[in-house]
Structure 1
Amino acid sequence: MKNQLSCKVVLLLFMISAMVSCESIDSMELDAKSAIYQEYQVTYNKTRNTTKVDATFRERTSKGTRITLSGDSKVQFNDENEDSFSTISHYFYHWKRDKIMDVTVVFNKNPKTTFVNKFSQKNSADINFVDDFTTFNGRQKNVIHWKGAAPKENEQVIVNIYQDKTFSMYATTEKGADKIEVEGLFSSGFKAGKVKVELIKKHSYSAINQSDKDAGGKVSYLTLVEKEVMIK
């Protein structure tokens, strides 16, 4: 199927991302007039009943250098500071709570400039496993169907498969698709036994409530469900 990614491609992309992820600039080094691009990712895990928000900030555009907030610059999620910060990922700031909820993110650029963006679970797309999905045939191609609508514009359906240190990802952005094909898992290093499968519907919006001048911003909503199945 079109637009499907193998674990090798994903690993390559991760390695490239990791090599460039360390490049950042401190917010105190920015020109006061420099606009800041805001990027957010909101993940609703319906299986674990959690809400996770990731955020990163860039100088001027979506391709600008990532920014480490310091001094008077900060970001808060529902009036709380981030849980963790790391430059070894696409997003620098991370916040997670054990409840499905709407989230208000407040980005304080400086004492006089604040941007407020509200993210609602109503904007996330619904998805779930079909009831009879319980096994993979490790020797041949498998087909995963889902409950929920086919991908529309700016949407993606993703399948992640985990077993110990082995991982594969498959995805489609094909409009109208109702399935994802998964290659024989034994050939990808998986063994007979249990695997965790994540099914994700991702919808990206190329606009946010409040942006810094013409720098703009982006938010991606992810609806995630997970299930343990057997490879035979």
Structure 2
Amino acid sequence: MNVVLYRSDSRGTADHGWLKSRHTFSFANYYCPSRLNFGVLRVLNDDLVEPKMGFGTHPHDNMEIVSIVLDGELEHKDSMGTGSIIKKGEVQVMSAGSGVTHSEFNPSEDKPVSFFQIWLFPNKENVEPRYGQAYFDEADVANKWQMVVSPDGENKSLWIHQDARIYRGDFEAGKSVDYHMNNSENGLFLMVIDGKVEVDDYTLSGRDAAGLTDVGDKISVSVKKKSQLLLLEVPMTR
């Protein structure tokens, strides 16, 4: 197995006052030629938006965009006529396809919103834009992988135009957790939201991540401290 580490303190940073963001891959003013993407995973931003602030209306096309709210609420509006509030425990997907504009705003008077913004290259271009949103019960992440995004809506997950899967899991210390690959040619991107784990003799703590390739049939994750994990299985070629 090949392992590339993405330590928390090695990520790109942006501080706009109203927005504090950490960029796992090159984004906006952060550019690192060795961190352009991991397979079809193009963006994994760790965003914190202050109350009553947000991203104004802006365009996207030919990208699968996933937002996972960790704390607080995020208000979404788009050119498809969608208007919604995304809360903790909810996940949003948007297929930008042939083109869409949208805005994201923290509607709270006093509480920041923390969320992951994830972009994946699609396997079909110029599709009709679409939107999806769902709540995933936190009880279903206790010591197991909960699929929130998939290519086909399996197990009530949200679907996207890509052979990629996104999982969350909350694991107790002392657990040894296996993940079985859906496609052995895919790569895995594992991020520790908080806690501490060990994979292939590498220790990962809060917001550390590892890109894993040539995994074989499965990986095993040893949980050293109670941990919240984000796991993406993605094709390594577009």
Question: Which category of TM-score, normalised to the shorter sequence, fits these structures?
Answer: 0.3 to 0.5
Point out the structure with the larger strand share.
2
Rg larger in 1 or in 2? 1
TM-score (norm. length: structure 2):
0.36
More helix by share: 1
Give the structure-1-normalised TM-score: 0.37
